[in-house]
Amino acid sequence: MEGLTPAGPLLAVLVGLALVDSTSVGTLGLPVFLLAQPRIRASAVLTYLGAIALFYWVLGVALHAGAGSALRVLEGAGSSRTLDQAQLVLGVGLFLASFLFDGPIGRWRRERRERAGKVSAMQRWKTRLVGPDASAGTVVATALAAGVVEAASMLPYLAAIGILTANGIGVVAGALILVAYCLVMVAPALLLLALRVGAARAIEPMLGRINDWFSRRSGDLLAWTLGIVGFLLAADAFGRLQ
């Protein structure tokens, strides 16, 4: 395939997308909540991260396999350069759309939910994760539920799959790359777990602040995600078009 992104820049873009994915509610917000408890269960955190990473990987392999077949059909009907141009337009569009979801809209939605007395889905998950009846099955079910809920908005992951497909990466190689992607995605939470176990007193205040920040600003994360994913998509497509 002509106009492939060189290996170095391609890996840099994928690592960037994985790090954006690592800051979502499912991959960092809920693990931080678990780690901020007075008594933590390291096995529960590891089970949670393993389950959500496996969910992402299986879904990613399936989507990549389907996307490869679809791309071959599209390339048979037109130029791959046209697809790169479409990706560039999509990236620029997502970047511009990020400004529509910045702070004021997120705050308005939270205030409306609070006035209506509604409990957010994240609050319900938290109760199930740390309640007296929490179990390994509950942790896995919660991780899968978080993955399913975020599947519709996992823009960084979908962008990564699109980039793999556009660069002609096969299913087997793509599956291996997605393993690395998922490991990078859960790496920040694993690092915090190691710090929580090894340096509890030093890390507890920071975990509390991160947890509070997620509680206050989770709505604004959508704007940042749209902006960063849009930029990376546009940069990848621009590189191939050049």
The C-alpha atoms of residue 213 and residue 80 are separated, in whole angstroms, by: 43
The number of helix segments (H) and strand segments (E) in the chain equals 11, 0
DSSP class of residue 116 equals T
pLDDT at res. 34: 81
- What pTM did the predictor assign? 0.67
Q: Which residue has the tokens 């507890």?
A: 204
Tens of pLDDT, residues 57-70 = 998 898 888 765 65
In DSSP notation, 15-42 reads: HHHHHHHTTSIIIIIHHHHHHTSSS--H
pLDDT at res. 1: 44
Tens of pLDDT, residues 173-222 = 999 999 999 999 999 999 989 988 887 777 777 777 776 666 555 555 55
Amino acid 31 reads P
CA distances from 111 to 25, 94, 108, 186, 209 (A): 19, 26, 5, 31, 21
CA distances from 179 to 53, 91, 172 (A): 9, 25, 11
pLDDT at res. 183: 96
179's CB contacts (< 8 A; 6+ apart) are: 57
**Quick count: other Cβ atoms within 10 Å of Cβ 76?**
7
Please tell me the number of Cα atoms within 13 Å of 178 on its side-chain side: 30
Q: With a cut of 50, which residues of the chain have pLDDT below it?
A: 1-2, 73-78
CA distances from 31 to 47, 50, 89, 207 (A): 11, 12, 35, 10
For the chain, how long is the longest CA-to-CA vector? 61
Q: Which residue has the tokens 């176990």?
A: 197
CA distances from 240 to 1, 39, 87 (A): 11, 50, 11
pLDDT at res. 68: 58
Contact between residue 22 and residue 189 where contact means Cβ atoms under 8 Å apart: yes
The C-alpha atoms of residue 115 and residue 91 are separated, in whole angstroms, by: 36
**Quick count: other Cβ atoms within 10 Å of Cβ 185?**
29
The C-alpha atoms of residue 75 and residue 237 are separated, in whole angstroms, by: 16
Contact between residue 5 and residue 13 where contact means Cβ atoms under 8 Å apart: yes
Tokens of 192: 């915090």
